[in-house]
Amino acid sequence: MQELVKVDANEQIKRFHEFLESYYYAEIIENLRKDLKFVVVDFAELSKFDLDLANELLENPEDTIKAAEIALQQFDLEEINGAKVRFSNLPKNQRIMVRNIRSKHIGKLMEVEGIVRQKSDVRPQVTAARFECPVCGNIINVLQLNGSFREPSKCGCGRKGKFTLLSKELVDAQGIVLEETPESLEGGEQPKRANIFLKDDLVSPLSERKTNPGSKIDVVGIVKEVPIIQKTGTKSTRFDLMIEANYVGSVEETFYEIDITEEEEQKIKDMSQDPDLFRKLINSVAPSIYGYEKVKESLLLQLVGGVRKVRSDKVVSRGDMHVLLVGDPGSGKSALLKRVSTISPKGRYVSGRGVSGAGLTATVVRDEFLRGWSLEAGALVLASNGICCIDEMDKMTTDDRAAMHEALEQQTVSISKATIQATLIARTTVLAAANPKFGRFDPYGVIADQINMPPTLINRFDLIFPIKDLPDPVRDEKLASHLLVLHQTPDLYEPELSTEFLRKYIAYAKQKIVPRLSDRALQEIKEFYLAMRSSGSTDEGIKAVPISARQLEALVRLAEASARLRLSQETTREDARRAIELLEYSLMQIGLDKETGKIDIDRIATGISASQRSHILVVKEIINELENKLGKTIPIDDIVEESKLKGIDEEKVEEVIEKLKRVGEVFEPRRGFISKI
């Protein structure tokens, strides 16, 4: 019987040798030339070549993979020692969800897919050790296969125990925690996790990038059981599962990693010459949502993004644009967000009350794998180089929103908790949606007052769009027919460009195009900026700040994104104009100060407009003068009288006194009188 198995193994090695020689010889040589000690075999090709061998691989993977590696080492090539055979593309029935792994799968070759949540450090692990017997000098080889280090039990000369360790073979090993993808879940299930064990070239710096937390990967490996050691030192009857990986492939790449064939590249270049390019692209962003051309255009520019610049003094200008949509309920904000998160390859969608600061940035958790603390990345870090869509942003608690400040501007997430001090990179574009303060916009009120968010956060968004839902017979008729026809025939509004092509187009623009600002574009932006700044002066002494340096940077990013969409390496005057038009549209809707008719960025940035601020100054002066005349307690009526002479009406004065009371500059000792604190 023993002999039979041996022949079988030799037969396997021979068949594998033939297979590798006829299908993969060129690839093996190419890989060795690049110093990659492995070859990835497509399972479909193996099953075409020899079905029995393929079945044997699935049923008895340990020995079969060994046989394949021995066959690989029989090639007469330099440096082939230690090369591995990796298998990809398993048949459908071998693909399994983490939750469905059962004891019958132990020892079989399986394929699982999921998102990497945690990753341990790379550490050496012993695979084989050589011992010498101190009595007779016999050398014993022991293979280290289990978790615990094994010594030989006895020697041929009768000695038991206490052998000298001569040498040991080490390989690099690493553990990752794989979590199921949210798309594959049903109902109230929590995504299950599996420990994956990687070693050898799967932890080389090149392939390590695939397994960064947040990446979506495909793992082919052997399901194994790991004994659970109880506190008493005995083994438990329960076992843990672990997958020893044989191959890891990335499923979801960032825009920078999408492969584009030459044929597709040609199609993309032809498309960029289309005079109707922008209209087609805008219509493909969200064809099922009616209207909002300007918003869709800005979302398109946001997907492409500007250029990230790192200067010699290490100051970084971010290239990502952040967009905030504030709108009435039922105006299609969430649908836009959902759509954008599907176009972007690394898109995350999170919403409102279900979001905590730790879930957005990062949190420190107890590490089961290595005993100690480890970092678990949140949505903004996991979506690095992609888009994070945050819905219902006004429903988040204040502390949780504050966690986003650093991620939006500096594009990093710093954390200092327990024994961990770390800075994670979060080069994420944020698209957020919120409802107005009172649920719906008041058409007569100032929009800026109705956005229920801290000015510091609002200021970090490049573009803010209020989406109002006001009755308008013509628009309502179009919207109703659009929506109802959609329900009648769901696939009526096909995007002009398929989602796949749009993705490839944006990916190509991000990978290949790095536009620089031309002198004419620079001049155009500068003129607009200066004109806006000088338009802010009012006769009341305090100047309104119509636009700040942050908006200037936003203009540059928008112009660069516009050039990228045209696949142009230079930002022209037209791009600058497109950027200015979008920014002006956004500012006119939000930053207009009704009293002066001028745009005032402070309405958004600090919540107090310039005209209000000048009123505050005037009223404070009056209070000071009256205090010198009348003493500490000043009647409010006197302040109102004085203010009327200076052209401020009663309502405004009362508003200012309320504000001063709120910030603690004055108080009311008795009704109708105020005193300075």
Q: What is the rounded radius of gyration, in angstroms, for the C-alpha atoms of the chain? A: 33
Residue 3's pLDDT is: 37
Asked whether the beta carbons of 426 and 322 are under 8 A apart, the reply is no
* CATH assignment, 93-252: 2.40.50.140
Residue 272's pLDDT is: 78
C-alpha span between 582 and 589 (Å, rounded): 11
Residue 42's pLDDT is: 84
Residue type, 531: A
Residue 539's pLDDT is: 47
Asked whether the beta carbons of 414 and 406 are under 8 A apart, the reply is yes
Residue type, 112: V
Domain ranges in the chain are: 2-89, 93-252, 262-604, 608-676
DSSP per-residue string spanning 361-416 = SEEEEEETTTTEEEEEE-HHHHTTTSEEEEESGGGS-HHHHHTHHHHHHT-EEEEE
Answer whether 2-89 and 608-676 agree in fold: no
pTM over 0.75: no
- Angstrom CA distances, 345 to 2, 171, 657, stand at 53, 34, 52
Ranges of residues in the chain whose predicted pLDDT is under 50: 1-7, 539-542
Please enumerate in sequence order all residues whose Cβ is within 8 A of that of 658, keeping only pairs 6 or more positions apart, or say none: none
Residue 6's pLDDT is: 42
- CATH architecture, domain 262-604: 3-Layer(aba) Sandwich (3.40)
* CATH C-level class of 608-676: mainly alpha
* CATH assignment, 2-89: 3.30.1640.10
Residue 608's pLDDT is: 61
C-alpha span between 141 and 147 (Å, rounded): 17
* Per-residue DSSP letter, 220: E
DSSP per-residue string spanning 628-668 = HHH-S-EEHHHHHHHHHHTT--HHHHHHHHHHHHHHTSEE-
Residue 177's pLDDT is: 83
C-alpha span between 535 and 597 (Å, rounded): 11
Asked whether the beta carbons of 214 and 169 are under 8 A apart, the reply is no
